[in-house]
Amino acid sequence: MTRGARQRGGPLRAAPLVTLALFLGPILAGLAGTALPAFGLLPALGGEQLSLAPWGTLLDAPGFATSLRLTVTTGFAATLLSLGLVVAFCAACHDRPLFRRAQSVIAPMLATPHAAVAIGFAFLVAPSGLLARLLSPWATGWTRPPDIATVNDRSGIALIAGLVLKEVPYLLLAALAALNQVRAQALMRAARTLGYGPVTGWLKVVFPLVYAQIRLPVYAVLAFSLSVVDVAMVLGPGTPPTLAVLAIRWFSDRDLSLWFPASAAALLLGCVVVASIAVWHAAELFVGRIGRRWVESGRRGGAGRSASFLATGALGVVIALSLASLGVLALWSLAGPWRFPDALPGGLTLETWRAQADALAAPLRATVAIAALATLAAVALALLCLEAEARFGLSPGARALWLLYTPLLLPQLAFLFGLQVLFVRAGIDGTLGAVVWAHLLFVLPYVFLALADPWRAMDPRLARTAAALGAGPWRVFLGVKLPLMLRPILTAAAIGFAVSIGQYLPTLFAGAGRITTLTTEAVTLAGGSDRRIVGAYALMQALLPLVAYAAATAAPPLVWRNRRGLAVA
Amino acid sequence: MKRLGRRAFLSATLAAPAAAVAQTPGHPLLATPWPDVVAAARGQTVFWNAWGGDDRTNGFIAWANDRVSERYGVRIQHVRLRDTAEAVARVVAEKSAGREQGGSVDLVWINGPNFLAMKEAGLLFGPFVHRLPNARFIDTEGKPATVTDFTVPVEGLAAPWRMAQIVFVYNSATVRDPPRSIPAMLAWARANPGRLTHPTARNFLGATFLKQALYELAPDPSVLLAPATDTAFAAATAPLWAWYDALRPHLWRSGRQFPDNGPAQRALMNDGEIDIMISFNPSEASTAIANGQLPPSVRTFVLERGTIGNASFVAIPFNAAHKEGAMVVANFLLSAEAQAHAQDPRVLGSVSVLAIHRLPPEERARFELLPRGIATLADSELGRPLPEPHPSWMTRIVAEWERRVAR
Q: How far is CA A114 from the centre of its chain?
A: 8
Looking at chain B, which residue has its C-alpha nearest residue A518?
Answer: B80
CB-CB: which of B59, B85, B267 is closest to A528?
B267
**β-strands B107-110, B45-51 pairing:** parallel
How does pLDDT run across A287-308, given as a tens digit for each residue? 999 999 998 888 887 777 788 8
Name the residue with higher pLDDT: A137 or B4: A137
Interface test with A, best of B4, B6, B92, B197 (most A CBs within 10 A): B6
Cβ <8 Å between A44 and B96: yes
Please list, in sequence order, all residues whose beta carbon lies within 8 angstroms of the beta carbon of residue B205, skipping any fewer than 6 positions away.
Answer: B198, B199, B261, B262, B265, B278, B279, B280
Q: How confident is the model at residue B2 (pLDDT cuts 50, 70, 90)?
A: very low
Q: Does B324 touch chain A (CB under 8 A)?
A: no
Give residue A339's region: left, alpha or beta (phi > 0; psi -120 to 50): beta
User: Per-residue pLDDT for A528 more than 70?
Assistant: yes
Find chain A residues with C-beta within 8 A of B264's C-beta. Answer: 527-528
For B213-225, what is the mean pLDDT?
Answer: 95
**Mean pLDDT score, B207-224:** 96
Contact yes or no for A423/A434 (Cβ under 8 A): yes
Label residues A197-207 b or e (16+ Cβ within 10 Å = b).
Answer: bbbbbbbbbbb
Nearest to A513 among B86, B113, B114 (CB): B86
* Interchain pair B55, A533: CB under 8 A: yes
Helix (H) or strand (E) holding A323: helix A305-333
Nearest CA in chain A to B265: A528
Distance of CA B263 to the CA centre of its chain: 14
Which residues of chain A make contact with B99, given a CB cutoff of 8 A? 424, 427
B3, pLDDT greater than 50: no
**Average pLDDT, rounded, for chain A:** 89
Q: Residue A9's pLDDT is what?
A: 56
Of residues B122, B116, B21, the one with CA closest to residue B313:
B116
**Is A250 in contact with A261 (CB distance < 8 Å)?**
yes
Q: Higher-confidence residue: A531 or A77? A: A77
Determine the 3-state secondary structure of A423 from DSSP.
Answer: helix
Evaluate if residue B369 carries a pLDDT over 90: no
First CA to last CA distance, chain B: 16
**C-beta atoms surrounding B104 within 10 Å:** 24
Least confident of A3-12, A473-482, A496-505, B209-218: A3-12
**B residues 104..123 contacting A (CB < 8 A):** 104-105, 113-114, 117
Chain-wide mean pLDDT for chain B? 91
3-state DSSP assignment of residue A173: helix
SS (H, E, C) chain B: CHHHHHHHHHHHHHHCCCCCCCCCCCCHHHHCCHHHHHHHHCCCEEEEEEECCCHHHHHHHHHHHHHHHHHHCCEEEEEEECCCHHHHHHHHHHHHCCCCCCECCCEEEECCHHHHHHHHCCCECCCCHHHCHHHHHECCCCCHHHCEECCEECCCCEEEEEEEECEEEEECCCCCCCCCCHHHHHHHHHHCCCCECCCCCCCHHHHHHHHHHHHHHCCCHHHHHCCCCHHHHHHHHHHHHHHHHHHHHHCHHHHCCCCCCHHHHHHHHHCCCCCEEEECCCCHHHHHHHCCCCCCCEEEECCCCCCEEEEEEEECECCECCHHHHHHHHHHHCCHHHHHHHHCCCCCCCCCCECHHHCCHHHHHHHHCCCCCCCCCCHHHHCCCECCCCHHHHHHHHHHHHHHHCC
Contact A291, A183 (CB under 8 A): no
Q: CA-to-CA distance for B315 and B109, rounded, in angstroms?
A: 7
pTM to 2 decimal places: 0.90
Across the interface, which of A340, A355, A359 has its CB nearest the CB of B271? A340
Q: Beta strand B152-153 with B148-149: parallel, antiparallel or unpaired?
A: antiparallel
By CB atoms closer than 10 A (0-12, 13-18, 19+), residue A358 is exposed
| CB atoms A513 and B105 under 8 Å | yes
A153 vs B contacts (CB less than 8 Å):
257
Least Cα separation, residue A170 to chain B (angstroms): 30
Instruction: Find, in chain B, the residue whose alpha carbon is nearest to that of A428.
Output: B104
CB atoms within 10 A of CB B121: 18
B246: which residues sit within 8 A by CB, 6+ positions away?
B186
* pLDDT of B16 higher than 70: no
> How does pLDDT run across A438-492, given as a tens digit for each residue?
999 999 999 998 998 889 888 889 889 999 999 998 999 998 999 989 999 999 9
* Chain A residue with the nearest C-alpha to that of B113: A254
Q: How far is A24 from chain B (nearest CA, A)?
A: 24
pLDDT confidence of residue A97:
79
Q: Which residues of B touch A527 (CB under 8 A)?
A: 53, 82, 260-261, 263-264
The pLDDT-based confidence of A3 (bands split at 50, 70, 90) is: very low
Least confident piece of the model among A32-41, B4-13, B350-359: B4-13
Whether A507 shows a pLDDT value over 60: the answer reads yes
Q: How far is A20 from chain B (nearest CA, A)?
A: 28
Phi and psi based region of residue B132 (left: phi greater than 0; alpha: psi -120 to 50; beta: remaining): beta
Which pLDDT belongs to residue B10?
Answer: 37
> What residue in A sits closest to B252 (Cα-Cα)?
A147
> Do A415 and A408 touch, CB atoms closer than 8 A?
no
Is residue B301's pLDDT more than 90? yes
Q: Do B94 and A44 touch (CB under 8 A)?
A: no
A-B CB pairs within 8 A amount to: 166
Q: Looking at the complex, does the CB of residue B253 fall below 8 Å from at least one CB of chain A?
A: yes
Alpha-carbon gap, residue A179 to A93, rounded angstroms: 13
Q: Please give the backbone phi and psi of residue B192, each rounded to the nearest 5 degrees, phi first.
A: -130, 70
Question: Does B407 contact A at CB distance below 8 Å?
Answer: yes
Name which of A63, A254, A529 is nearest B89 (Cβ-Cβ).
A254
Query: Do B267 and A531 make contact, defined as CB atoms within 8 angstroms?
Result: yes
How far CA A31 is from CA of A223, A318, B304, in Å, comes to 16, 36, 56
Q: Please name the helix (run of DSSP H) or strand (run of DSSP E) that holds residue A316, with its range, or none.
A: helix A305-333
Interatomic CA distance for residues A213 and B168, integer angstroms? 59
**Are the C-beta atoms of residues B95 and B320 closer than 8 Å to each other?**
no
For A128, nearest residue in chain B (alpha carbons): B271
Give CA angle at A313 (A309, A314), nearest 5°: 120
Please indicate whether, in this complex, the C-beta atoms of B3 and A61 are within 8 angstroms of each other.
yes
CA distances from B76 to B71, B105, B344 (A): 12, 12, 21
User: Is B20's Cβ below 8 Å from some Cβ in A?
Assistant: no
Nearest chain A Cα to B260, which residue?
A527
Distances (CA, A) of B351 to A48, B263, B356, B364: 48, 19, 11, 14
Closest CA of chain B from A431, distance in Å? 10
pLDDT of residue B21: 57
pLDDT band for B7, please (50, 70, 90 cuts): very low
B265 touches chain A (CB under 8 A): yes
pLDDT digits (tens, 9 = 90+) for A79-132: 999 999 999 999 988 888 778 777 778 888 888 999 999 999 999 999 999 999
Per-residue model confidence (pLDDT) at position B11: 38
With an 8 Å Cβ cutoff, is B287 touching chain A? Answer: no
Decide which of A569 and B339 is more confident. B339
Measured in angstroms, the CA of A524 and the nearest CA of chain B are apart by: 6
Is B90 an interface residue toward A (CB < 8 Å)? Answer: yes
Q: What confidence score (pLDDT) does residue B19 get? A: 43
Strand partners, B76: B46
B100 touches chain A (CB under 8 A): no
What is the rounded average pLDDT of the residues A388-415? Answer: 84
Q: Is the dihedral of CA B271, B276, B277, B279 positive or negative?
A: positive
Pick among B115, B270, B271 to test the A interface (most A CBs inside 10 A)? B271
* Closest in B2, B86, B99 to A252, CB measured: B86
Chain A contact probe: residue of B13, B46, B90, B405 with most A CBs at under 10 A: B90
Identify all chain A residues contacting B115, using CB atoms and an 8 Å cutoff: none
What pLDDT score does B159 carry? Answer: 97
Q: Does B194 touch chain A (CB under 8 A)?
A: yes
Identify the band that residue A529 occupies on the pLDDT scale cut at 50, 70 and 90: confident
Q: Does the distance separating the beta carbons of A239 and B405 come in below 8 Å?
A: yes
- Residues A331 and A535: their CA atoms lie apart, in Å, by 8
More confident residue, B137 or B4: B137
Q: Which of A143, A417, A419, A530 to probe the B interface (max B CBs under 10 A)? A: A530
**B50 → chain A, closest CA residue:** A513
pLDDT digits (tens, 9 = 90+) for B140-149: 999 999 999 9
Residue A519 pLDDT > 60: yes
Residue of B nearest to A510 (CA): B90
Q: Which of A239, A336, A533 sits opposite B406 (nearest CB)?
A: A239
pLDDT at A359 over 90: no
Residue A329 pLDDT class (50, 70, 90 cuts): very high
Chain A residues touching residue B292 (CB < 8 angstroms): 336-337
Smallest CA–CA separation between A317 and chain B, in Å? 27
Measure B17 CA to nearest chain A CA, in Å: 19
Output B259 or B6, whichever has higher pLDDT: B259
Q: What's phi and psi for B384, nearest 5 deg? A: -70, 135
| ipTM of the modeled complex | 0.86
Contacts of B214 (CB under 8 A, 6+ apart): B221, B224, B236, B237, B240, B389, B393, B397
Q: Do B85 and A154 touch (CB under 8 A)?
A: no
Length of chain A: 569
pLDDT at A360: 92
Query: Which among B60, B367, B401 is positioned nearest to B210, based on CA atoms?
Result: B401
What is the sign of the dihedral through the CA atoms of A70, A73, A77 and A78?
Answer: positive
Q: How far is CA B391 from CA B10, B151, B152, B394, in A?
A: 12, 8, 8, 5
